[in-house]
Amino acid sequence: MIVLFHFSEGHHYSGLPWLDLLAARGYLWVEFFFALSGFILTHVYGERLAALFTQRGYSDFIKARLARLYPVHFFMLFALLALLIFARSLAGLIGYRSIFDLAYHPDIQVKGFFLSLLLVQSWNTMNALTWNGASWFVSVEFALCLLFPIFVWLANGKSWRGLALIAAGIAGLVALDLTSKHGLDITFHNGVLRGLSDFSVGVGMAVLYRRWKPRDTLSPHIHSLIQAALLFALLYAFYHTGWSHTYRDIWDVLPMLALVFALSFDRGIVADALKTRIPQAMGAWSYAIYMGQTFWLQAIRICEQRLYPAPNSIVLGTRFSTLIWWLEPSLLVLVCIAWGAALARYIEHPGAALLKHWFSPKKPLAEASLLRQQ
């Protein structure tokens, strides 16, 4: 949905309301990601409050998060640089203006490149999305990781703390939603505030989960009904709150966030469906799919500019403009999935392992020698 949203906003929507109203809300799935991140980090690290407030514990946590986030981000940043060099070289060779030199090109300032390297490009430091536009999410996620011990401290205690964090997060989202001109499509400017609000909800839900999970006596059928009701509420909001980028975004987000909590109990029809092979694989590749999409969105623009035949040309017995209308977004989604799978396998996981090895304390020479002998 996020890939289709970015394609549709930059090219065209399908003209089919049942698909367009889903794709147009694609940017809101970032809310789900941020809340899920807050939930999982609190679930994993929630009992390590004392360690997180030590220099060693905090350093180890940040290094672990960088190992998870940075390899794909770093690779895609330089992949976009390579695409820029290729596009300009091709334009210079043939004699036309590349997509990176047209009126609506992506921001390619040197400042943005170096801020992206430091993961601070979305801390209200730029006036536009820069280079790999999707990486604004990683910049905000990094900020949330830096602040995470504070969240754990706030969440440490009884259930009311979790409820308070959820209420504070929803209040923050409502405030942003009502004051923004674009609903909750908030990225390079105040994206950190958006992430903080979603993350707070996720942390609060993790507190409630920790308290309520041992007492969960609901049958799988009840869990199924809850999950189905939330999915219905989500789809109803998508289809009955008008077009996207308005103050009504909050009605889409509320059931979306609630799904994080409902699915965390790992029981029920939707939870069971997510345990099957395809969703599991897509989940494993999801970060790389998200981070890799900008490269192909820009590559499409290069193809449209110089490589496509004339719109009225007949290709496979069909006018090209008619054929490409559906073929282009369909192939884009498939390519982004395959690209994400490759990035996950050859960049994300090896890169994380390499960074973890690099970050790990160096063993004394005598100990290292003994380990080699063993």
Q: What confidence tens digit (pLDDT) does each residue in 227-256 have?
A: 999 999 999 999 999 889 999 999 999 999
- What's the Cα-to-Cα distance from 107 to each of 97, 112, 142, 311, 366, rounded to whole Å? 16, 8, 21, 29, 51
Dump pLDDT digits (tens) for 319-363: 888 888 999 999 999 999 999 999 999 999 999 999 998 988 664
| Phi, psi torsion values for 158, nearest 5 degrees | -80, 175
Which has the closest alpha carbon to 304: 340, 332, 337? Answer: 332
pLDDT in tens, the chain (374 residues): 999 999 999 888 988 999 999 999 999 999 999 999 999 999 999 888 899 999 999 999 999 999 999 999 999 999 999 999 999 998 888 888 888 888 777 788 999 999 999 999 999 999 999 999 999 999 999 999 999 999 999 998 889 999 999 999 999 999 999 999 899 999 999 999 999 999 999 999 999 999 999 988 999 999 999 999 999 999 999 999 988 999 999 999 999 999 999 999 999 999 999 999 999 999 999 999 999 999 999 999 888 887 888 888 888 888 888 888 999 999 999 999 999 999 999 999 999 999 998 988 664 444 444 334 44
pTM (two decimals): 0.91
Which has the closest alpha carbon to 53: 140, 143, 148, 141? Answer: 148
> How does DSSP assign 267-333, residue by residue?
-SHHHHHHTSHHHHHHHHHHHHHHHHHHHHHHHHHHIIIIISPPTT-EETTEEHHHHHHHHHHHHHH
| Cα angle 85, 89, 91; round to 5 | 120
Buried b (16+ CB within 10 A) or exposed e, 37-67: bbbebbbebbeeeeebeeeebeebbbebbbb
